[in-house]
C-alpha cells in the first residue's frame, strides 16, 4: 500500500511541475528548479523568491543580468549563478526564430529582428559587429566592447582582423541603449565614422550601424547620419 504524501507536497517545485506541468509554474518556482538544492540557511524556493524580489520581480530585468549580478544575492554561489545565467540565455535564444538567423540581412529591420530581442534586456551597452558574406548572410557575430561606448576603446585593427580571417564581405555594427531610447549620440556617430574609415582602408565596408532600444531602433548608415 503506497504511503500517503504530505499535504504540502504541491509547495515543492518538482512536485508542482509533475502535477501541473512546467508551463503553469511561477517564475519563482522555475528559478527554484534551476537553483536546485539551496543552502544550509535557505531553501531553493526561498533563494528564488529573494532573487525575484531583489531585481524588482521583472523577468525582463533578470534576463539582462550577468553572472556577477546573481552572485550578489545571498545564497547564490558561482555554480548557481552560472546555471541561472545559462538558463536565461537559452530562453533568449529560443525566442529568436532560427529562420531569421539564416536569412540574408536586407536592411536594419532584419538586424533588429535578429538582435533586438537579444539586446533589449541587457543592462549595459554592448557593441557587436555582424560579419556578412557576399550574400549578406551572417557568418559570425563578434562582441567588440561591453560598457559605455567610447571611440577610444574601439580597436578597428582587432575588428577587421577577425573580419579578414572569416572572409567577411561586409560588416554591420549593432549596439544597444539600455535606456530604451535608440537616439544616436555623438559618440555613436564618432564610432561609426571611425570604423567606416577603417573598413574602406581594408576593403571590407561597414554597411550600417543599428542602435537598438526597447521595441525600436535607429539606423545611422555608413557615414553616421540617420
Closest CA to 30 of 5, 72, 7, 62: 62
pLDDT at position 163 is 93
pLDDT greater at residue 93 or residue 100 = 93
- Range from 39-43, 44-48, 63-67, 222-226 that averages highest in pLDDT: 44-48
pTM: 0.62
Mind listing the pLDDT tens digit for each residue in 96-124?
A: 655 555 788 999 999 998 898 888 778 88
> What's the CA gap between 17 and 193, in Å, rounded?
53
Which residues lie across from 142 on neighbouring strands? Answer: 129
> What's the CA gap between 224 and 58, in Å, rounded?
34
Structural class in CATH, domain 98-219:
alpha beta
pLDDT greater at residue 206 or residue 103 = 206
pLDDT at position 8 is 40
Average pLDDT over residues 87-99: 71
Average pLDDT over residues 61-71: 83
**Between 1.10.150, 1.10.3470, 2.40.50, 1.20.120, what CATH number should domain 9-94 receive?**
1.10.150
> What's the CA gap between 214 and 177, in Å, rounded?
8
User: Where in the chain do CATH 3.40.140.10 domains reside?
Assistant: 98-219
Mind listing the pLDDT tens digit for each residue in 143-179?
A: 888 877 766 677 788 889 899 999 999 999 999 999 9
DSSP letter string, 67-115: HHHHHTSTT--HHHHHHHHHHHHHHHHHTS-HHHHHS---SHHHHHHHH
- Range from 6-15, 36-45, 174-183 that averages highest in pLDDT: 174-183
User: Where in the chain do CATH 1.10.150 domains reside?
Assistant: 9-94
Average pLDDT over residues 209-217: 93
pLDDT at position 23 is 78
Q: Look over the chain and give the mean of its residue pLDDT values, rounded to a whole number.
A: 84
pLDDT at position 6 is 40
Secondary structure class of 223 (helix, strand, coil): coil
Amino acid at each position: 500500500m503506497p504511503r500517503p504524501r504530505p499535504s504540502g507536497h504541491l509547495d515543492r517545485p518538482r512536485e508542482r511541475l509533475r502535477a501541473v506541468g512546467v508551463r503553469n509554474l511561477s517564475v519563482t518556482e522555475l528559478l527554484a528548479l534551476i537553483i536546485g538544492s539551496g543552502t544550509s540557511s535557505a531553501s531553493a524556493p526561498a533563494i528564488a523568491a529573494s532573487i525575484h524580489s531583489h531585481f524588482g520581480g521583472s523577468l525582463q530585468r533578470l534576463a539582462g543580468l550577468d553572472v556577477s549580478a546573481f552572485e550578489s544575492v545571498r545564497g547564490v554561489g558561482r555554480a548557481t549563478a552560472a546555471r541561472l545565467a545559462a538558463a536565461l540565455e537559452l530562453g533568449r535564444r529560443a525566442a529568436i526564430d532560427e529562420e531569421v538567423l539564416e536569412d540574408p540581412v536586407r536592411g536594419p529591420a532584419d538586424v533588429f529582428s535578429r538582435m533586438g530581442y537579444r539586446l533589449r534586456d541587457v543592462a549595459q551597452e554592448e557593441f557587436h559587429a555582424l560579419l556578412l558574406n557576399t550574400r549578406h548572410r551572417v557568418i559570425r557575430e563578434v562582441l567588440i566592447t561591453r560598457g559605455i561606448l567610447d571611440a577610444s576603446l574601439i580597436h578597428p585593427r582587432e575588428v577587421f582582423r577577425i573580419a579578414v580571417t572569416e572572409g567577411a564581405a561586409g560588416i554591420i555594427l549593432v549596439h544597444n541603449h539600455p535606456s530604451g531610447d535608440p537616439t544616436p549620440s555623438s559618440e555613436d556617430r564618432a564610432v561609426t565614422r571611425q570604423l567606416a574609415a577603417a573598413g574602406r582602408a581594408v576593403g571590407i565596408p561597414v554597411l550600417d550601424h543599428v542602435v537598438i532600444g526597447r521595441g525600436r531602433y535607429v539606423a545611422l548608415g555608413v557615414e553616421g547620419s540617420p
